[in-house]
Amino acid sequence: MYLRLEKISKRFNSFVANENISFSVDAGKIHAILGENGAGKTTLMNIISGLYQPDTGKIYLEDKPVKITSPNEAIKLGIGMVYQHFMLVPQLTVAENIILGIENSWRLNLRQKQQEIAALSQAYGLEIDPAAKVENLPVGIQQRVEILKVLYRQAKLLILDEPTAVLTLTEIESLINILRQLAAAGNTIIFISHKLEEVINLCDTVTVLRRGKVVATKTTKEVTIQQLAELMVGQEVALQVNKSASITGEVIFSVQNLQVAGDRGIPAVRNVSFELRAREILGIAGVDGNGQRELADAIAGVRSIINGKIEFKSFCIRQRIGYIPEDRQKMGLVLQFSIAQNLILKAFKNLPFCRHFLLQPPAIKNHAQVAMAEFDIRATGEDIKVRQLSGGNQQKVVLARELAGEPDLIVAMQPTRGLDVGATAAIHSRLLVERDRGAAILYISTELEEVMAMSDRIAVMYRGEFVAILDAQTVTIEEIGLLMARGTCRG
């Protein structure tokens, strides 16, 4: 056994994040930790990498008990945490980032270090230019730098916490190859991911956590994706969206000849026209960066338009829009505010939250408690800061606020990105409930299968234009795939 955990527990105040966690990993194996948002995965990794101390329990490395008192101690023991790209210093080169913090600058021979790093990267097949500035590198390559950084520190146990969440498909493939090579060279790897297919393809063994406890440890050969999903959420899950056909209503909203500027002055949205009906989900499929973001922002009124018209039909009296933005942490939430405060961000000046210019804490608290129950926001209380919630629970806060007061139009941009199957299913079914009560929904996602499953009609966006609007019942995934890739399905 390379690593063995024995009954590790960790609480934050009264909240038990890890409870009696035991499992072990053989040397040279890839072990997955799987679990819903908030299951306690990151907490456990922070314990193994010395950031947190467990309240109880023991850790063994090569059958010897160890005390991992700090991240430095973890490094000395050969444990390396591969952080996401934002831990690198963008203005420094690859080589500088890799040696940062361990080499004394006064006797530093940078050229020699660059050669060492180049040799190391070749040995592991991690292609990289040691002299390149990190800020100029794509995310996938920055991640390689993080991996090299821990290998340079002679880590034997590598921990990757949701490393694929930020990567493109090609980058994921290349990461998977790298991890296989590292394991073949004798390194032990702990891999955290929400993507069940990745876990089955890449990993030898898997431990599933649910609400802080181990529910199963299995070899990946003996389980199916469906079984893993059920272990994670603890009930039968529908990976498919259960959607009834919609009886669409009248046209309530229209967009005509819309043109929106992009960040580099080139129009990001060009000549887009469409209508939306009540009780209808119009899905927008497209490869990331084809104008979806700008379209969503323009419709939600947070980006100005160059040309065209965006309007509700006049009989639609309230003309209310609920916006679920792509980046919930930057645009959707104020992370240092509590759940209760985030829930009234748009309404804090109104009754019943504010009376005679004074905030009304009981009304705010009550509102939060009702919303937390309705949207299944899991936290110890409404005064918990949103920063401390898992991604799935953060997204539920956004939904609870944006769907309050029954908006006529809902713009949802990548609403399930980075969420586990349980939270994803909850968001999907909630949006379907909104559709069925009469909302028109614009559903934007780069995951084609998700768009197909959720939509009544599908528009394909390519280089800023709608190249087709299709009936979701009859269109094939191949057809949409071609439209997304080339803007046409002909020859």
Q: How far is CA 123 from CA 90, 98, 147, 266, in A?
A: 25, 16, 13, 43
35 contact, one of ligand ADP, Mg ion, none, CB 5-8 Å limit per kind: ligand ADP
Rounded least distance, CB 485 to ligand ADP, Å: 33
Pick 10 or 41: Cβ nearer Mg ion: 41
Pick 39 or 141: Cβ nearer ligand ADP: 39
Rounded least distance, CB 145 to ligand ADP, Å: 23
Please, are residues 403 and 247 in contact by the beta-carbon 8 Å criterion? no
Rounded least distance, CB 293 to ligand ADP, Å: 26
38 contact, one of ligand ADP, Mg ion, none, CB 5-8 Å limit per kind: ligand ADP
121 binding Mg ion? (CB under 5 A)? no
Rounded least distance, CB 391 to Mg ion, Å: 8
Pick 42 or 424: Cβ nearer ligand ADP: 42
Closest by Cα among 201, 165, 161, 171 to 44? 161
Pick 41 or 156: Cβ nearer Mg ion: 41
Residue nearest Mg ion by beta-carbon distance: 42
Instruction: List the Cα angle 80/82/84 in 5-degree steps.
Output: 160
User: Segment 361-380, which members bind Mg ion (CB under 5 A)?
Assistant: none
Which residues make Cβ contacts (< 8 Å) with residue 380, sequence separation at least 6?
A: 13, 14, 15
332 token code pair:
């959707």
Please, are residues 337 and 385 in contact by the beta-carbon 8 Å criterion? yes
Q: Taking the CB of residue 126, how many other CB atoms lie within 10 A of it?
A: 21
User: Segment 18-47, which members bind Mg ion (CB under 5 A)?
Assistant: 41-42
Site for ligand ADP, rule CB under 6 A: 12, 15, 17, 35, 37-43, 388-390
The most distant pair of C-alpha atoms in the chain lies apart, rounded to whole Å, by: 75
Pick 220 or 390: Cβ nearer Mg ion: 390
Residue 344's identity, in one-letter code, is I
Q: What is the DSSP letter of 101?
A: T
Pick 42 or 455: Cβ nearer ligand ADP: 42
Q: How many residues bind Mg ion (CB under 5 A)?
A: 2
Which residues make Cβ contacts (< 8 Å) with residue 397, sequence separation at least 6?
A: 333, 339, 342, 343, 375, 377, 386, 389
Q: How many CA atoms lie within 13 A of 40 on its CB side?
A: 27
Pick 42 or 97: Cβ nearer ligand ADP: 42
Rounded least distance, CB 209 to ligand ADP, Å: 7
Using CA atoms, how far apart are residues 371 and 378, in angstroms rounded to an integer? 11
341 contact, one of ligand ADP, Mg ion, none, CB 5-8 Å limit per kind: none
12 contact, one of Mg ion, ligand ADP, none, CB 5-8 Å limit per kind: ligand ADP
Pick 280 or 420: Cβ nearer Mg ion: 420
Q: Which residues of 26-44 are buried (b: 16+ CB within 10 A; e: fewer)?
A: eebbbbbbbbbbbbbbbbb
Rounded least distance, CB 194 to Mg ion, Å: 9
Rounded least distance, CB 356 to Mg ion, Å: 43
Residues lying near Mg ion in the complex (CB under 5 A) are found at 41-42
